[in-house]
Amino acid sequence: MLKEIADWRSIRKFDPTKPVTNEQLISVLNAGRRAPSWKNLQPWKFIAIRKETDKLKLSEAFSMGVLIRKAPAVILCVGLLEAWVKTHQRDRLKELLHHRGFNMSEEEIDKMYLDHELAQALAIKPSALMARTFENMGIAYGFMLLEAMNQGLGACVVGETANELIVENNSKYNEIKQYFGLNESQFITAAIVLGVPQKNEALNPRKPVEETYVLF
């Protein structure tokens, strides 16, 4: 097993005297960029935050705002519903297929991928698009967490936040979104806090193997 996986633990307390360097942050962001996604849609955007004023503003969207305020660096993870628009899906698929040596016309791409009844059912159901966006985001979080550890950092996903899943027309949330330049089809999914760990945390328990996986 990868060392970063075997040793994984969420870190919430950081050494305030040790900053996260540009190189470390870029490496973590690039790990998120490398994550796999549905039709290579990459329905995400990551905003790296280190300024106190920005952390303070973002912390207002989280139940555990103190984690955001006290972290040397924070990656604001943004899901993009706009990534599921048919023209964007077609463009990404075209690019992907071309890269793999298949030159398909837009009509062929539509027929083979986008006009399938399951693809159409997904495209018209906002709750399904939201769920699929979160699914993809989760993989990107995982990539970033492991790379953070590889960079000698500790990290934790902080997911209890105001967003379109739980608030409607909330002026505070809208103000925070506006502050970070997010539009209507972009929403906060989580923040990843990063820094040099203050102390070595113990590993957390997991459900027993028998309740977790089956080997047929």
Ligand X SMILES: Cc1cc2nc3c(=O)[nH]c(=O)nc-3n(C[C@H](O)[C@H](O)[C@H](O)COP(=O)(O)O)c2cc1C
Binding site for ligand X (CB under 6 A): 8-10, 12, 64, 156-160, 190, 204
Rounded to a whole number of angstroms, the minimum distance from the CB of residue 11 to ligand X is 8
How far apart, in Å, are the Cα atoms of 22 and each of 27, 45, 120, 207, 215?
A: 8, 18, 42, 37, 43
Nearest residue to 80 via CA among 187, 152, 181, 163: 187
- Judged by beta carbon, residue 76 or residue 93, the one nearer ligand X is 76
For ligand X, give the closer residue by CB, 10 or 22.
10
* Cβ closest to ligand X, residue 159 vs residue 195: 159
Min dist CB 84 to ligand X, Å, is 21
Q: How far is the CB of 33 from ligand X (least distance, A)?
A: 19
Determine the distance from the C-alpha atom of residue 139 to the mean position of all C-alpha atoms in its chain, rounded to a whole number.
7
Q: Which two tokens stand for residue 208?
A: 């027993």
Nearer to ligand X, 64 or 96 (CB): 64
Q: How far is the CB of 190 from ligand X (least distance, A)?
A: 6
Angle, nearest 10°, between helix axes 126-150 and 22-33?
140
**Contact between 72 and 152 (Cβ < 8 Å):** no
Phi/psi at 169 (5° precision): 50, 45
Distance in Å, CB of 7 to ligand X, minimum: 10
Distance CA 145, CA 2 (A): 13
Nearest residue to ligand X, by Cβ distance, number only: 159
H/E stretch holding 175 reads helix 171-179
